[in-house]
């Protein structure tokens, strides 16, 4: 008698990178401040196989102004968090999400003044 053949693993088909509760809380806290300052109006989230993206829009029907990305594969190198501008330029990259999001501090201060 032969051994039964196991079913193919479907786990890998459903694995996606996502922001955890604390990361999302930090990002949405910044988003709320920028909405209150009148800088941002809408957001979108994408959870893909190798990257999680939080996109920020000034208006709904345009390209994102900024993308906040999480790439766990870069954890040991430059850091897994990055803020990317509209033109694709990496504005800041690092290991700590709060430090990476400090790139928006100047914009927030300028918007409040």
- The more confidently predicted of residues 10 and 81 is 81
Q: What is the pLDDT of residue 38?
A: 86
pLDDT class of 13 with cuts at 50, 70, 90: low
What is the side-by-side order of every strand in the sheet holding 42-47? 42-47, 52-57, 66-70, 81-85, 90-94
Question: pLDDT tens for residues 36-87?
Answer: 988 888 899 989 899 999 999 987 667 888 999 999 888 888 889 999 988 8
Average pLDDT (20-43) is: 90
What is the number of other CB atoms lying within 10 angstroms of the CB of residue 82?
Answer: 20
The rounded percent of the chain whose pLDDT value lies above 70 is 81
Q: What is the pLDDT of residue 7?
A: 64
Check whether 110 has a pLDDT greater than 60: no
Q: Do residues 18 and 52 lie in contact, with contact meaning Cβ atoms separated by under 8 Å? A: yes
Check whether 26 has a pLDDT greater than 60: yes
């Amino acid at each position: 008698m032969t051994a039964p053949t196991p079913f193919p693993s479907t786990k890998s088909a459903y694995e996606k990178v996502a922001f955890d509760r604390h990361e999302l809380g930090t990002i949405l806290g910044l988003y709320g401040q920028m909405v209150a300052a009148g800088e941002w109006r809408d957001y979108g989230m994408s959870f893909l196989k190798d990257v999680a993206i939080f996109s920020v829009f000034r208006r709904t029907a345009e390209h994102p102004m900024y993308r906040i990305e999480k790439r766990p594969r870069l954890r040991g190198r430059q850091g897994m968090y990055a803020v990317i501008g509209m033109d694709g330029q990496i504005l800041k990259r690092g290991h700590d999400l709060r430090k990476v999001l400090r790139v928006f501090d100047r914009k927030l201060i300028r918007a409040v003044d």
